Structure 1
Amino acid sequence: MHDDDLPITDKLVRTLLRRDAPALADRPLQRLDVAGSSNVLYRLGDDLAVRLPRQPGGSASIKAEARWSRWLAPRISVAVPEVMVVGEPDAEFPERWAVVSWIEGETPAVPLPSGPTTTALAVELGEVARQLRSLPVPSDAAADPALASYRAGRLRDVRDEINDWLARCREVPGLELDLAAAARYWASTADLPEPDVAPTWVHADLLAENLLVRGPAAADRTLAGVLDLGGLAVGRPAVGLVGAWELFGPADREVFRRTVDVGDDEWQVARAWAFAIAVMTFPYYWRTMPGRCRHRLVAARAVLDEARSALL
């Protein structure tokens, strides 16, 4: 998936488990296709999973998740994976890795079909985003470099980079996105007001692939879990709202917005972050993660549809 991918095999994972978690080493082990771009994921027995960074430098997010998920878990209304074991780097594998609790559920459809269940999910996800931004930020969290993310910064700091990604999007075969409208939209973000705000907690990757839903039937789904707390950051909170454009139609997006209680200025900034994340995805993951690209295309189109009146 990446030019610097670390080699991760079933044999390696068994070796690491025998060294750092011998009581778990003989459990059934299955590599999962649903692993993301940052970590390879294995299911370990019925109730655990193993997360291993794909690239050099991935220890930082493992360490941050281990440290801060314990602090966060009792303070929000949805389950998050509990870190049970953290393995240290060695000659076999140069990064930290973790054994975490398994949360039952499945990732939501993108986009979600309109209806009462989707509206309920918009409220639940909005409540999680609202809770995160209302939590106190301990001084050691504010000073933790592992919680510093460009996504929790200002749009102006990534404007030139996104222009470069937009140019690369023209080389993506079969990308069905109005790139002329996309360029006009991104140019319009230069004038977006970004007032100073106190740093807050934010999940900088609160998108469908990091959510779990479950229920007795498709028409009765509830939010079961939020994954990948390696995506936690401290900073500007707008990026924590980007899932609204990937998951929801206009009516449920507004429900989500009202639940979080977001003003016009921040909503426009959040919309721009949803677009920026999508644009970065297409050139990089078009061949390796087509499912992710389909999701981000939904988000990018939703952004342009919502902003279209300002672009004409």
Structure 2
Amino acid sequence: MTRLHADELAIDAALVRRLLARSLPTYADLPVRPLLASGSTNALFRLGDELLVRLPRQPGGTAAIEAEARWLPVVAPALSVATPEVVAVGEPAYGYREKWSVTTWLDGTTPPASPVTDTDSLADDLARFVAQLRDAAVPDAAREDPAVSSYRAGPLQAVDVDLREAAELCRAIPDLDLDLDRVLVVWESALAAAPPAHSAVRWLHGDLFTENLLVHNGRLAGVLDFGGLAVGDPTVDLVVGWEALDPQGRAAFRRHLRVDDATWLRGMAWALLVAVLTFPYYWQSMPMRCAARASMARSVLREAS
């Protein structure tokens, strides 16, 4: 498994088998094989033909595993697209100190790293997903649960310093083809137009990028990884429009969601923030992710011109 973090936990198929045998013996005899496309948050292992094991890569990952197990069943009934079902949550053992989960396996393929030209159907499906999640009822318990609180659900002003520090780090990346001065101009325009606090109390995915989407025949077949599920301002979920869709598809996406100018500008700013934070951290370890984020950021800058 490729090491992505300085505090990366030791995880391999042998550990997964031991954890299953101890915590979930019902699944212990199923074949276990690592997925090459493991994410940056969780190491992924196929379990038989119908299941997936997800283990946090870093200390503290238990919180996202528990939050997903608690709240995904609450929001999933409001969604018309397939989402993984959390079958079980396993306990720490054998020196691995985090909880982990077994979910159902969803078929489909990940969209390409850069937008394709025929995206109208995908735009409709993505808009429907964002709207359904945004409009799902938020129980009082979720409003009070810190596990579904995220910086991505808050105001842009709270991450202004992070954007500026990351942009400076990006200037030291020689092969990064991105106008960072223009990034700051667009960011400052969004800050000026954004309210200093948010009053929205809506569900959001929080990590709605192509690596967490599944498509089949040009349609959205599934949405993965609800570990970033949060309650607050759902504007950050608009970022998928710049990563997954071409300009025509993006216009349809915006039209279906009825997004006003100020909110659309904040969505652009979130796309730039996520991209700029990605480059210094993952430039060497996850080049495909960085390429997708760079393409997304350039799409934002072209639209903002």
The residue that corresponds to 2:207 in the other structure is: 205
Larger mean CA deviation between 46-55 and 196-205 belongs to 196-205
1:125 is aligned to 126
How far 1:173 moved relative to its partner?
2.8
1:15 pairs with one of 13, 18, 32:
18
- Report what 1:181 is aligned to: 182
Which position in structure 2 is the counterpart of 1:135? 136
What is the TM-score of this pair, normalised by structure 1?
0.94
Look up the match of 2:280: 283
CA distance in structure 2 between the partners assigned to 1:128 and 1:19 by the alignment = 37
SS at match of 1:212: strand
CA contact (8 A) 1:14 1:25 kept: yes
Kindly indicate whether the alpha-carbon contact (under 8 Å) linking 1:133 and 1:200 is maintained by their aligned counterparts in 2: yes
Unmatched segments (≥5 aa) in structure 2: none
Give yes or no for the alignment of 1:49 onto 2:52: yes
- Which is worse superposed, 121-130 or 83-92? 83-92
Correspondence for 2:232 among 231, 235, 243:
235
In 1: Cα distance, 2:194 partner to 2:73 partner: 35
Please state how far the C-alpha of 1:112 moved relative to its aligned partner: 2.8
- Contact 2:124-2:253 at 8 Å conserved across structures: yes
Letter in 2 for 1:139: D
Q: Is the 8 A contact 1:12 1:92 kept in 2?
A: no
Runs of 4+ in structure 1 deviating by more than 6 angstroms, as ranges, are none
Percent sequence identity over matched residues? 49
Contact 1:84 1:101 in 2 (8 A): yes
Find 1:106's aligned residue among 109, 128, 147: 109
- CA-to-aligned-CA distance 1:196-244 (integer Å, 9 cap, x gap): 43310001111100000113xxxxx211110001110000110011110
Distance of 1:144 and 1:65 partners within structure 2: 12
Structure 2: distance between partners of 1:75 and 1:307:
34
Equivalences, count: 301
Query: In the alignment, which residue of structure 2 is the partner of 1:31?
Result: 34
- 2:26, 2:172 → 1: CA distance? 50
SS at match of 1:242: helix
Residues 251-270 of structure 1: pairs in structure 2 closer than 5 A? 251-270=248-267
Contact 2:167–2:180 (8 Å) recurs in 1: yes
Name the SS for the 1:164 alignment partner.
helix
8 A contact 1:207–1:246 mirrored in 2: yes
Q: SS at 2:163's partner residue?
A: helix
Residue in 1 aligned with 2:297? 300
Match of 2:171 in 1: 170
Question: Could you tell me how far apart the structure 1 residues matched to 2:190 and 2:265 are?
Answer: 9
RMSD, matched Cα: 1.2
Distance 1:155 1:227 in 2: 25
**Contact 1:208–1:243, Cα closer than 8 Å, also in 2:** yes
- Give TM-score, length-normalised by structure 2: 0.96
